[in-house]
Amino acid sequence: MTEKFRFREPELAKKIARKIANIAPADELIKFCHVCGTHEWSITHYGLRSLLPKNIEVIAGPGCPVCIVPASEIDEAVQIAQKGAVITSFGDVLRVPGSEKSLLEAKSEGADVRIVYGLSDAIQLAKNEPNKEFVFFAVGFETTAPTTAIEILKNPPANFSFLVSHRLIPPAMELLLGLGDLQIDGFIAPGHVSVIIGLKPYELFPRVYRMPTVIAGFEPNDVLMGIYMLLKQHKENEAKLENEYSRMVKWQGNLKALDVMNKAFNIVSSNWRGIGRLPNSALKLKDVFENYNANKKYDIKVEQGRDILLGCECHLVIIGKIKPNECPMFMKTCTPQNPVGACMVSSEGTCRVWAISSELSFL
Amino acid sequence: MCLAIPALVVKIEGDTAQVDFGQGVLRHVNISLVDTRVGGYVLIHAGYAIQTINDNEALETIKLWKEILSKEIE
């Protein structure tokens, strides 16, 4: 096996797992938190939790950008679609529940809602059909936000506008530290968000909160190494910012991406589904791009929505307070085929990932 | 949703490149956020390249892992 393919090599995984077991404390419960749906997918899909000692727990924080879009913003998209504009977005977004209905339900009632692979495809649709109005529902964390920024700066067609719902990860991580009863011992920081923002935005976690923080990649051995590095810091009573994913993540991030984001957006406070209002946690189009702001163009602003249905515990799953199988509805009334909460809708939602990849012992 | 996949740059026309995701899956992606060339690898997220990839850095990671794993903790 050549060196390049070692990111998934089982022998290496076993070796890292042995190292983890060697330095793990005997009885103290250690809890590490990641904030990325792709990390949850890797951990669950590859069964990494089964390689860890019983007292080392890895929990999932708010890492699914589709899950944390508040119902009020889904409602805005539905209302815009009902006014006759074509809503374009990523596939997962369509099934996320709004207060009354999802975009998919609006589509079944006749609204024109289309799935795209990315924003450039949506713009191409608008160019192909100049007599229709198109809106891109821009959901996603820092990884996705620059793609929206590039297109806004390039003067998209006049029949195109944006419903911007981008959110920022570091404020959500800070929120988790404020929840006294969560008691996290370290952060596994998200690799692809970090490709864009670099290391600097995480510096406050070790410095201010004395929280070990390791940026990790997504291959199984990346995640295991990240856990090992956190555990090592814990054992040596250190709190440092380390970068396991150095092959992709540079200290300064992607400067071009940060530059276009700065030009297109202001940072504002905003609501997250199931979490509430977080300061400086969202992006909003700058006033000079008002012509492309779908809220203004269609005069639609929904202040309040119904985020969580009665009985759904998505709000506790999102912050890592409970595991999906601790929700009474999980795999009973709430399934991938018939999801109740946003965490079961998106392919990166913790409940959905557990439903399709976990061992079936909960059934 | 922050999923990103490596791809090989096959052809470049301005801000757009044709990339190969492997096994002949070709797509046009936007490359204005990175400096790349034909024959280089890029990390693609939702149709946009967000980072360039070079082989040596991947090998460096493996080297770093070996180093970390070989150190014993007192």
Phi, psi at residue A207, to the nearest 5°?
-75, -50
Cβ contacts of residue B10 below 8 Å, gap of 6+?
B17, B18, B19, B20, B26, B38
Which residue from A46, A59, A60 is spatially nearest to A17, judged by alpha carbons?
A46
User: Residue B61: its pLDDT value, please?
Assistant: 84
Which residues 95-154 of A are in CB contact (within 8 Å) with B?
Answer: 117-121, 139-141, 143-144, 146-147, 150
Chain B hits for A64, CB-CB cut-off 8 Å, are 1
Find the CB nearest B33 among A192, A193, A254: A254
How many cross-chain Cβ pairs, A to B, lie less than 8 Å apart? 121
User: Residue A79: its pLDDT value, please?
Assistant: 98
Q: How far is A225 from chain B (nearest CA, A)?
A: 7
For chain B, which domains are there? Answer: 5-73 (2.30.30.140)
- Binning pLDDT at 50, 70 and 90, where does residue A62 land? very high
User: Residue A350: its pLDDT value, please?
Assistant: 95
Chain B hits for A248, CB-CB cut-off 8 Å, are 43, 51, 53, 57
Q: Alpha carbon of A325 to those of A33, A64, A110, B19: distances in Å?
A: 18, 18, 36, 41
The mean pLDDT of B63-71, rounded to a whole number, is 82
The mean pLDDT of A285-313, rounded to a whole number, is 95
CB–CB of B50 and A140 under 8 A?
Answer: no
Per-residue pLDDT tens over the stretch A143-198: 999 999 999 999 999 999 999 999 999 999 999 999 878 899 999 999 999 999 99
Which of A247, A251, A260, A347 is the best substitution to test chain B (most B C-beta atoms within 10 A)? A247
Length of chain A: 363
Among the residue ranges A109-123, A125-139, A295-309, B56-70, the one predicted with the least confidence is: B56-70
CB–CB of A147 and B68 under 8 A?
Answer: no
Residue A108 token pair: 């079944």
Chain B hits for A37, CB-CB cut-off 8 Å, are 1-2
Find the CB nearest B43 among A120, A195, A225: A195
Rg, C-alpha atoms of chain A:
21
Chain A hits for B36, CB-CB cut-off 8 Å, are none
User: Residue B56: its pLDDT value, please?
Assistant: 85
- Binning pLDDT at 50, 70 and 90, where does residue B14 land? very high
> B41: which strand partners?
B8, B53
The ipTM is 0.91
Chain A hits for B65, CB-CB cut-off 8 Å, are 6, 12, 16, 221, 225
Chain B hits for A221, CB-CB cut-off 8 Å, are 65
Per-residue pLDDT tens over the stretch B16-63: 999 999 888 899 999 999 999 999 999 999 999 999 998 788 888 888
- Binning pLDDT at 50, 70 and 90, where does residue B3 land? confident
- Report whether pLDDT(B73) > 60: no
User: Residue A1: its pLDDT value, please?
Assistant: 47
Chain B hits for A6, CB-CB cut-off 8 Å, are 62, 65
What's A47's DSSP letter?
T
Among the residue ranges A5-14, A297-306, A341-350, the one predicted with the least confidence is: A5-14
Among the residue ranges A72-76, A250-254, A334-338, the one predicted with the least confidence is: A334-338
Q: Alpha carbon of A304 to those of A79, A253, A308: distances in Å?
A: 14, 35, 12
Alpha-carbon torsion angle A5, A11, A16, A19, nearest 10: -150
CB–CB of A140 and B58 under 8 A?
Answer: no
Is the Cα dihedral A229, A230, A232, A237 positive or negative? positive
Average pLDDT over chain A, rounded to an integer: 94
CB–CB of B3 and A192 under 8 A?
Answer: yes
CB–CB of A146 and B53 under 8 A?
Answer: no
Please state the pTM of the whole predicted model: 0.94
For chain A, which domains are there? Answer: 3-65+172-243 (3.40.50.11750)
- Report whether pLDDT(A317) > 70: yes
CB A135 within 8 A of CB A82: no
- Binning pLDDT at 50, 70 and 90, where does residue A2 land? low
- Binning pLDDT at 50, 70 and 90, where does residue A243 land? very high
CB A69 within 8 A of CB A165: yes
Q: How far is A90 from chain B (nearest CA, A)?
A: 9
- Report whether pLDDT(A361) > 60: no
Residue whose structure tokens are 């508040």: A70
CB A264 within 8 A of CB A285: yes
The mean pLDDT of A289-318, rounded to a whole number, is 95
Three-state SS string over A342-357 comes to HHHHCCCCHHHHHHHH
Q: Alpha carbon of B4 to those of A3, A46, A273, B42, B45: distances in Å?
A: 22, 18, 25, 10, 4
Q: Alpha carbon of A10 to those of A221, B1, B59: distances in Å?
A: 9, 26, 18
Taking the C-alpha atoms of residue A93 and residue A102, their distance in angstroms, rounded to an integer, is 9
User: Residue B72: its pLDDT value, please?
Assistant: 55
Residue ranges of chain B whose CB lies within 8 Å of a chain A CB: 1-4, 28-30, 32-34, 43, 45-48, 50-51, 53, 55, 57-62, 64-65, 68-69, 73
User: Residue A363: its pLDDT value, please?
Assistant: 45
